[in-house]
A and B are shown apart, each in its own frame.
Chain A
Amino acid sequence: MGGYGDVQLLRDDGKRLDGRALDELRPVTVEAGVLPAADGSARVTHGLNVAVVAVYGPMEAHPRKIQRQDRAVIDVRYNMAPFSTSDRIRPGFNRRSREISKVTAEALESVVLVERFPRSKIRVEIEILAAEAGTRCVGITAAAVALADAGIPMRDLIVGVASGKIEDTVVLDLDKAEDNYGQADLPVGILPNTGEVAFLQMDGDLSPDEFNLAMEYNFKAAGEIHDIMVEALQRRYEGGEA
């Protein structure tokens, strides 16, 4: 986390700088089936974040050494476009994107019914086009919708969401200023139907009570985002309202 304390992030009326309540999400929109070349795809906007995900497969896994006899491997690439941040990012993988790709792949492997597709590979390409804090969560949400759009069976639609701490107060869904000047960030990937957690990271400083409250916020928000994801898939496949 960035610097502490010297930047005011909560208003005198107890709300946040952008007017949100402590447990309020930024606006979320979800659209399924946005990339004609992909087998499944989705676009998710979350606040000013924009993530687009393409799913390819299941396909033959090569090189052969990555094949698993009893299940599919999930190959995730999380990538920030060079123009997605305030300062341009040099194209290509860096340590941060490699780590996020790895833990995201492991989260998705816990959700996709990988044992249905032995020896195959499912490619999940997460492209962040605009970043405003919380991109790994937006990527996970978009990946879940894209996998569903590709017709790949899953135990649940995994939802990426984060809570954190600003000015010693637990809040849901940090924006950029709150992320830069806050005290903690707790991004998770939640399976709303089963109540399980498949993705977990955290940095900063949280007391056990603060952690419990942050998780409570995350579970509540995951339910809200899950509804939006389901609606998007219904719009695409049922051609009507939810």
Chain B
Amino acid sequence: MVDLVPTLLRQELSRLADADQRLDGRSRWGSRDVTLETDCLYNAEGSAKVTIGGTIVYAGVKFELRTPWPDRPAQGSLMCGAELRPVAGRKYEPGPPSPQSIELGRVVDRGIRESGCIDMAELCIVPGEKVWGVMIDLHVLSDQGNIFDACGLAAIAALRTAVVPAERFDVGEDHTLSVNGTPIMASFTRVGGRYVLDASEEEELGGDERIHITLGDKGHLHSLQKGLKGVFTPAEFAEIFEVAQTRCVELRKLVAEQEAN
């Protein structure tokens, strides 16, 4: 279904931007409430539920035994996929995976993979024969904006609670998956001409391009993505990059707090 972007909405967003305001009263770098719950899905080996405002996302981790890729005989594998099923909102329709859902899964995948938080060599059981494949599935149940940050947070939180089901596959004892780091994504959307953090559904509808930044524990960049039509300047990027640093520290703290409970 084609989104009908009301001209009035764009005008209003532009007017608000000039006054440094947002539709829901937030500041430019303000976020909606973020909640995180882990170990919440009975059949998943690791799981998390994240809500950001009215956006709800689940992540579930499953393991499978597979033969390693020929060029990497002593390494396991990681795959992160996202589903934007019609449950998530009126605008979503059934059918094969949409380009949007593939982009979403791959951007989250890169952030986790490139941060190096999973040691692929540790996922090897018998070199050349048997390795673990780790699958993170992201399931968006309600899209009210910024599903990227919700998915990124759910994915790493679920991964960090995952238990390798070795006993069920008869390859040793169950053990927690070792995850060295908490890569976190921060997403910005151009609304009314300037970037804002954590865009709402309406801001996405009446906004333009978005930028996703995934940062590791040391503040290093691990994945970047610009989506949708639009351009930005280095100065604009410098500004949001600074905000991303703060945002990622906050969300990483949320993961740590959840784990401490």
Contacts and interface: CB of A to CB of B under 8 A. Distances in A.
The SS class assigned to the B binding surface is mixed
Contacts of A127: 85, 87, 139, 141
Contact of A82 (B56, B62, B86, B90): B62
Contact of A54 (B43, B53, B58, B141): B141
Contact of A81 (B60, B143, B201): B60
A61 to B, nearest CB: 13
Interface in B22-52: 41-44, 47
Contacts of B90: 37, 56, 59
B41 A83 contact: yes
A77 interface: yes
Nearest to A41: B142
Contacts of B168: 86
B109 to A, nearest CB: 15
Contacts, number: 100
A36 interface: yes
A145 to B, nearest CB: 15
A130 B58 CA distance: 12
A52 interface: yes
A36 B56 contact: yes
Contacts of A59: 90
Interface residues of B, number: 34
A64 to B, nearest CB: 15
Nearest to B54: A36
A125 B58 contact: no
B87 A83 contact: no
Contacts of B56: 34-36
Contacts of B96: 92
Interface in A187-237: none
B86 A123 contact: yes
B43 A130 contact: yes
A60 to B, nearest CB: 10
B61 interface: yes
B135 A37 contact: no
A98 B28 CA distance: 45
Contacts of B144: 36-37
A91 B81 contact: yes
Contacts of A85: 43
A95 interface: no
A81 B88 contact: no
Contacts of B94: 77
Nearest to A128: B43
A82 B42 contact: no
Interface string B76-95: 00000101011111100010
A38 interface: yes
Interface string B194-213: 00000001000000000000
Interface in B84-128: 85-90, 94, 96-97
A131 interface: yes
Contacts of B83: 81-82, 91
A241 to B, nearest CB: 26
B123 to A, nearest CB: 16
A37 B137 contact: no
Nearest to B136: A83
Interface in B217-253: none
A44 to B, nearest CB: 14
Q: List the 3 shortest-distance A-B pairs measured between CB atoms, nearest first.
A: A83-B60, A36-B54, A125-B87
11 contacts: A36-B55, A37-B144, A38-B142, A54-B141, A56-B90, A77-B94, A81-B83, A82-B135, A83-B41, A130-B44, A132-B43
Interface of B: 41-44, 47, 53-56, 58, 60-62, 64, 81, 83, 85-90, 94, 96-97, 135, 137, 139, 141-144, 168, 201
Given A81-B139, A83-B44, A125-B85, 10 more contacts: A35-B141, A36-B55, A50-B42, A52-B141, A59-B90, A82-B60, A87-B62, A91-B137, A125-B87, A130-B41
